[in-house]
Amino acid sequence: MFEYEIDRMNHAQLVREAAARRLSREAAASAGREARRSGRRSGGQDAEGPVGDDGPGRFARAA
């Protein structure tokens, strides 16, 4: 009976570890998705907003 109890405790510990790993993978994947979403906006560009008035010399003729 003692070996059975040890086996059940070991099984319960393995189940807890698997659940913790699964949760950490899901959290990492969620963080990665969020980083990709916010990464699309960054890149030296401001968020959407009003366009600055730089005057008529801002645009050049295309070659």
Per-residue pLDDT tens for 7-37?
999 999 999 999 999 999 999 888 887 766 6
User: Residue 6, Cβ neighbours under 10 Å: how many?
Assistant: 10
Tell me the mean pLDDT in the region 36-52. 60
Report the pLDDT value the prediction gives residue 50, as an integer from 0 to 100: 62
Confidence of residue 1 (pLDDT cuts 50, 70, 90): confident
Rounded CA separation 41/47 (Å): 7
- Its pTM stands at 0.47
Residues 41, 47: contact at Cβ < 8 Å? yes
SS (H, E, C) the chain: CHHHHHHHHHHHHHHHHHHHHHHHHHHHHHHHHHHHHHHHHCCCCCCCCCCCCCCHHHCCCCC
